[in-house]
Amino acid sequence: MNADKRELFGTDGIRGVANIHPMTVETALRVARAAGYIFQKDDSRHQVLIGKDTRLSCYMLEGALVAGLCSMGVDVLQVGPLPTPAVAYITRSLRADAGIMISASHNPYADNGIKFFSGDGFKLPDSVEHRMEELIFSGEIDSIRPTAHRVGKAYRIDDARGRYIEFVKASFPKEMTLEGVKVVLDCANGALYKIAPRVFFELGAEVIPIAVEPNGRNINDGCGAQHPETVRKATIESGADVGMAFDGDGDRLLMCDRNGDFLDGDCMMAICACDMIAKRRLPKDTMVATVMSNLGLTTTVENAGGNVIRSKVGDRYVVEKMLEHGLNFGGEQSGHIVFFDHNTTGDGVIAALQLLAIKQEKGATLAELRCGFERFPQTQLNVQIKRKQPLEELPEVWDKIKHYEAQLGNEGRLLVRFSGTEPLLRIMVEGRDTTQIEAIAKDIGEAVGAVLG
């Protein structure tokens, strides 16, 4: 199997339409067997934790994963609907050998996905995912069939939600409360629907929860971080101080102030990084952002005396870069924000609490906090494609990319990449002239559509 070719895993686990390859029960069963083999270190009993979001298809896939793990002699800990960062934390808390989250994050309910955490709460590196694919397609472990007492068992963990609520509350300063703060929480009818309202209520906020009635089909449907107009409308109409929108699995955050103006991941990271630099809580005065983050983030952090290192797109690549350089803070423009001081992966609730702690400490509004962040004009275009082919092999596209990179020079950036989870080619152009960058994105998009669309 070619080490560069990934047949199942994308940038964030395995994802697709539920009940169609690769998101079938057959594949889930084989993936679970491969995982059970990889995560067993010796002859003792091993445990793998499984969480899920609120999609209808989670029941189907969870059953297949449980069966596959038990068939390899691994015990399974089922925690029910929990956000992805909770799975990372509870896996560590229960000292499980690995954690699995069943979710397609911000995608529509018909999609689903499977992503893994190691026993220390980090997403798996590419090398381990590649080994898992080798095991799945080679038949190497087909003959491994524990019997009798060596077959695994499944257990329900009833207190996982409460454990996570107390865990995230502990990330908020003990001497501080949210009394007098009115918040709108858009929980996307997803995994945070019971957790987020409890957290903010118990910290003293006046909570207006929306999208907290999941039915298996309405996750991310006109709500959550993918549909910011919903939280904006509710925030303005209710006169709330802050609006927060999470995605379906709770690892992503979007915020708006009382006027309905948004703070995306770059803006939130700029506020937090500058605060951490001032308090000497940012190792090496350096944070990690992906290649998609706005130049304005770099400028803001550098003006505060800090530095920004870039990683590939994907929060696990942000985490890898943080580990490589011994850093504790990083994230994505999309709202995946990682605070190693609190969790090992992007956590929407923890990110929100860190922003609100700064707000409370400074006695400022979100609008006042965000005024120090100056964004470079940026445009993004997604082009639907039928196949993925190296852009260097398409001269009608590649020549345009190189031409526009030279044209932008040091006054902008151009990034063209294939999505790791969807049949899309993503184009991002950044510069000082909005008309120019929109024209560049359109021209490249049309060229791509003509050959790959």
CATH of the domain at 300: 3.40.120.10
Q: What is the pLDDT of residues 198-228, one digit of tens each?
A: 999 999 999 999 999 999 999 999 999 999 9
pLDDT at 369 over 50: yes
Kindly state whether residue 120 falls inside one of the protein's structural domains.
yes
CATH number of domain containing 434: 3.30.310.50
The predicted pLDDT at position 11 comes to: 79
pLDDT at 276 over 50: yes
151 and 13 in a single domain? The answer is yes
Domain assignment present for 297: yes
Nearest partner of 360 among 239, 180, 206, 170, judged by Cα: 180
For residues 149 and 28, membership in a common domain is answered with yes
Predicted local distance difference test score (pLDDT) of residue 424: 94
pTM: 0.89
Check residue 5 and give its pLDDT. Answer: 57
Per-residue model confidence (pLDDT) at position 3: 43
Predicted confidence band of residue 1 (pLDDT cuts 50, 70, 90): very low
- Among residues 20, 370, 25, 347, the alpha carbon closest in space to that of 199 is found at 347
The predicted-structure confidence for 388-408, as pLDDT tens digits, reads as follows 999 999 999 999 999 999 999
Q: Is there a single domain that holds both residue 168 and residue 304?
A: no
Beta-sheet strand order (sheet of 286-290): 307-311, 286-290, 329-331, 337-339
How far apart (Å, rounded) are the C-alpha atoms in residues 157 and 78? Answer: 6
Do 270 and 363 belong together in one domain?
yes
On whether residue 1 sits in a domain, the answer given is: no
SS3 of residue 189 by DSSP: coil
pLDDT at position 372: 85
* Assigned domain for 115 exists: yes
Catalytically annotated residues: 105
Helix-helix angle 84-93:348-362, to 10 degrees: 100
Mean pLDDT of 402-426: 89
Asked if residue 24 is part of any domain, the answer here is yes
Residues 234, 267 within the same domain: no
Of 344, 370, 396, the position where a domain reaches its end is 370
Does residue 287 lie in a domain region?
A: yes
Average pLDDT rounded to a whole number, residues 322-336: 97
Integer angstrom CA distances of residue 109 from 54, 94, 211, 235, 249: 9, 29, 14, 25, 12
The number of beta carbons lying within 10 Å of the beta carbon of residue 105 is 31
- At which of 212, 227, 261 does a domain end? 261
pLDDT at 346 (0 to 100): 96
- In this predicted structure, what is the pLDDT of residue 4? 47
Q: Is residue 30 part of a domain?
A: yes
Residue pLDDT, tens place only, 242-273: 999 999 999 999 999 999 999 999 999 999 99
Rounded distance, CA 210 to CA 164, Å?
A: 21
**Crossing angle of helices 348-362 and 265-278, rounded to 10°:** 50
Residue after which a domain boundary falls, among 347, 370, 393:
370
**Residue 113 sits in the same domain as residue 20:** yes
Same domain, 383 and 348: no
pLDDT of residue 368: 96
pLDDT in tens, 52-89: 999 999 999 999 999 999 999 999 999 999 999 999 99
Largest CA distance in the chain: 69
Task: Kindly state whether residue 335 falls inside one of the protein's structural domains.
Answer: yes
Residues 13 and 151 in one domain: yes
Which ranges in 195-334 belong to alpha helices (H)?
Answer: 195-202, 228-238, 265-278, 295-303, 315-325
Say whether both 226 and 365 belong to one domain. Answer: no
Boundaries of domain holding 390: 378-452
Structural domain total, the chain:
4
Specify whether 249 is located in the same domain as 218: yes
Q: Are residues 66 and 80 in the same domain?
A: yes
- Please confirm whether the linkage preceding 22 is cis (ω < 30° from 0): yes
State the pLDDT at residue 281.
98
Q: Is the same domain home to 283 and 364? A: yes
Q: Can you tell me the mean pLDDT for 348-358?
A: 98
